[in-house]
Structure 1
Amino acid sequence: MDAFAKSVPAKDRRGFFDNPNRIESLLTNLLLQKQLAAEARAAGIDKSPATQSQIELAIDTELAKIRMQQFRTDVKVPNLDELAREEYIAHKEKYLLPVTVTVKHVLISTKERSDEEAKALADKVAVEAKADPAGFDALVEKYSDDPSKADNHGVIVDAASGKYAPEFAQASGELMKPNEISPVVKTGFGYHVIELVKREEAKKRSFEEVKGEIAARLRSEFVDKQVKGHTDALRNQPMDANEALVASLRQRYADEATSPAGK
């Protein structure tokens, strides 16, 4: 079980094993694997040259993976505080908190009405909304086809972000004052009428606020560079190869696939 646990990323291990049913299923599968392996040994399968080669390959694969994990852990990372500060000073725009926009919207779906009918109804809703922005909640309840309105009452947080349809996000981001109503906007879902609830402009974050974030990225980049350097050095060591034998592999496995034993 401990050996299996090592195959689960450390950050996910606690959640993975915090489930009695999952543990029971895992134990059953590990036991089955042990039983089948015991049958294979009893039948002498582990003694055949072909099986030995597969076992050696599995061992090499696992050892290589463990070695790389160990290498990453053992990399000596220098103090990156000064480099992090230089990164912050040179690229302050990367560490802004973006504009955050919260809106309410009415969706007029085109799923069960024609495009012309949906557009006409959306135009009507927009006129009513602009005439009485304070009554927008009632318009959501009366007209919106968005199934999530029962839970969010038409409210969309972070509406100008990439989480939403580009047309919707752009229209939301262009609203500047609370209760401002957008022009009718068309997306793949239908037509939207949008009202601005709240807008928070982009905000600068101090170096102390982002220091950990920058240092973590720089550390990861440094370790990745050391790993690449180590593996590149191994790959670039002199190697003697039998060119004819390497070339024959292509035909070897093609012949194996068409032979009676390979079927």
Structure 2
Amino acid sequence: MKKLLLLTAFLFLMLTGSPVKAEIIDRVVASIGDNAITYFDVEKEGGALFKQIISSTPPEEQEARLKDAREKALNNLLEKVLLLRAARKAAIDVTDDEVKAAIENIKKENKINEQELLSALKKEGVSFERYKEEVKGQIIRSKVIDKKVRRVIEVSDEEVMIYYERNKNDFATDEEISARHILFLIPKDADEERVNEIRKRAEEVLQKARAGEDFESLAKKYSEGPSASNGGDLGFFKREDMVKEFSRAVFPLKENEISGLILTPFGYHIVQLRERRGGAALPFDEISKKIKARLYSEELNRGIKEFIEELKEEEHVEIRL
């Protein structure tokens, strides 16, 4: 139920169950105006991550990683409180119907019914009322972002074109080539003398190929690979489809060019590149919407960070963690 965390409710509500003392739990670690954030709030916020760190990190590294994780959890809480305070100032609220609609959407996204949602919440030790409150908070914060940040963001067609021209390689289709090869297998237990014999035989066949003999026929006659019966035909493949030694030597070849001997963990290869496709940038018209969405997302993230910083300057924020 990955999307059940669509509004990240569980992460915000899970408890760590740590046996810390009451005075530590109640200790105020940050304040924003009349809002106080306690150590316990931080433990709730980062509970799932803290558990993961404790279970997967060597003991000598846990303290440093938990410190970083707690700071991130505290920053998340500060942002929540700042946005909620901004919502109150802007008279932004959420109706019960909006909360209900959001929860219905969560169930739809996850293809679960009411009972399955309640069971999942119960398993995490979260009441439905508490879950609704968290959903409500998320919606309020989203509304603040919509009003204060999202609505003022614009990405022009000119910006999209400039980004396309500067980053064409990011929008290129994967380059593929087709090739034939002749493989001379080297047994794992082969000694130096045996390897030299195999290399000598491979060099003799390479000379035949470069002298103009039909490569497909040579592959059928000499190759020890599974593609021998097909004249060594490998079809189309990408760089990552082959071992790095093979791809590094083959992809720079021109069409119909024959390689030298290529040594890989399998043995010696002789390769003839047949055809090349892809590798060119997609047309602007095909990719412009994707670029615009990327630029918008970047602007939105930047705008949110700037807005949070503005709120921090406006409010009296004190951190004691």
TM-score of the two chains, using structure 2 as the length reference? 0.47
In structure 2, the CA distance between the partners of 1:59 and 1:32, relative to structure 1 (3 Å rule), is closer
Equivalent residue letter for 2:295: L
Tell me, which stretches of 5 or more residues in structure 1 are unaligned?
Answer: 18-22, 47-54, 247-263
Q: Distance in 1 between matches of 2:182 and 2:134?
A: 56
Report 1:1-263 matches (<5 A): 4=4, 6=6, 17=111, 32-33=119-120, 75-76=150-151, 77-92=153-168, 95-97=171-173, 99-108=175-184, 110=186, 112-114=188-190, 116=192, 117-118=194-195, 120-121=197-198, 124-125=201-202, 127-128=204-205, 130=209, 131-138=213-220, 142-144=223-225, 154-159=233-238, 161-178=239-256, 180-200=257-277, 203=280, 205-234=282-311, 237-241=315-319, 243=320, 246=321
Gaps of 5+ in 2: 9-104
Matched positions, count: 211
**Which amino acid is 1:186 matched to?**
L
Q: Are the equivalent residues in 1 in contact too, given 2:155–2:292 (CA < 8 A)?
A: no
Conserved? CA contact 2:155–2:295, under 8 Å? no
Q: Distance in 2 between matches of 1:27 and 1:231?
A: 35
**Secondary structure at the counterpart of residue 228 of structure 1:** helix
For residues 117-161 of structure 1, what are the alpha-carbon distances to aligned partners after superposition, in whole Å with 9 as ceiling and x for unaligned? 456435534543614312255258x50168xx999x6515244x3
Q: CA deviation at 1:238?
A: 2.8
Say if 1:33 and 1:175 are closer, same or farther in 2 by CA, change over 3 A: closer
What is the root-mean-square deviation in Å for CA atoms of aligned residues? 4.8
Change (3 A) 1:188 1:27: farther
**Cα separation, 2, equivalents of 1:69 and 1:119:** 69
